[in-house]
Amino acid sequence: MIKACIFDMDGVIVDSAKYHFLAWRRLAAELAIDFTEEENEGLKGLSRVDSLEKILLKGELHLDNDTKVALMEKKNSWYLEFIKGMQPEEVLPGVREFLEELKTNDIRIALGSSSRNAPRILEAVGLTSLFDSVIDGNKVTYSKPDPEVFLLGAKEVGVKPSESVVFEDAQAGVAAGKAGGFYVIGLGEADVLDQADIVLPNLENFTLERLQSLMVH
């Protein structure tokens, strides 16, 4: 019996990853580090701290903690400038319709994202009212693949992991969902998200009936 659905944000609800990439690339350039779109894929699902550490590792830079904090704040201020202009049409295909169907059928809806800016993005694209709980980077101690973000989401909406479905597009997120005891639907490439219970290309034309039929088989 499905009582709740918990969604990652970047790459699942919206594609704000492109704005993260622009901000990280700008920061890397300031540090004389070449940072590619392909390398940005490796940051999917990671916290801000872990993302910065990966970039610094590539540039073989060893910085003190205060400098790292200042760099993260700089990157975040650029990112906030980018997302301020996000529009409702940036919600990925099928997502709004699926969320509305879940709401109509009294399925609880939670967000489980490592992004500290998740509430701002939901507000910008007009989805805030559809979520019963938003667990973001401000509420968690551990980043994915630790399952904390999803376990908190399930707890806030009053369901067990076994009654919930997690939707993820990143390896770390899929691993987090499985570690927490959730049924996990991966969105993207099957060979990348091979730990997921089911992998779909996206949520276009996805329905609650389809979800229930997938879980029966």
CA distance 176 to 208: 23
Q: What are the DSSP calls for 28-57, one per residue?
A: HHHTT----HHHHHTTTT--HHHHHHHHHH
84, 101, 121 — which closes off a domain? 84
pTM attached to this predicted model:
0.84
Looking at residue 41, what is its pLDDT?
Answer: 85
Same domain (yes/no): 139, 188? yes
Same domain (yes/no): 119, 187? yes
Number of domains in the chain: 2
Same domain (yes/no): 127, 190? yes
Same domain (yes/no): 64, 143? no
Same domain (yes/no): 114, 136? yes
Q: How open is the CA angle 170-176-179, to the nearest 5 degrees?
A: 140
Cβ 109 vs Cβ 7: under 8 Å: yes
Q: At what angle do helices 95-104 and 208-216 cross, to 10 degrees?
A: 80
Burial of 29 (0-12, 13-18, 19+ CB in 10 A): exposed
Cβ 185 vs Cβ 198: under 8 Å: yes
Pick out the chain residues at pLDDT < 50. none
> Containing H/E element for 20?
helix 17-30
Looking at residue 28, what is its pLDDT?
Answer: 97
Looking at residue 18, what is its pLDDT?
Answer: 87
* Phi, psi of 5, rounded to the nearest 5 degrees: -125, 135
The domain of 94 spans 4-15+89-216
Same domain (yes/no): 135, 205? yes
68, 84, 100 — which closes off a domain? 84
Cβ 10 vs Cβ 125: under 8 Å: no
Looking at residue 217, what is its pLDDT?
Answer: 65
> Containing H/E element for 121?
helix 118-124
CA distance 38 to 18: 12
Q: Which of 8, 66, 106, 194 is catalytic?
A: 8
Same domain (yes/no): 102, 179? yes
CATH of the domain at 147: 3.40.50.1000
CA distance 122 to 105: 21
Same domain (yes/no): 127, 100? yes
* Phi, psi of 36, rounded to the nearest 5 degrees: -100, 165
Tell me if residue 10 is catalytic.
Answer: yes
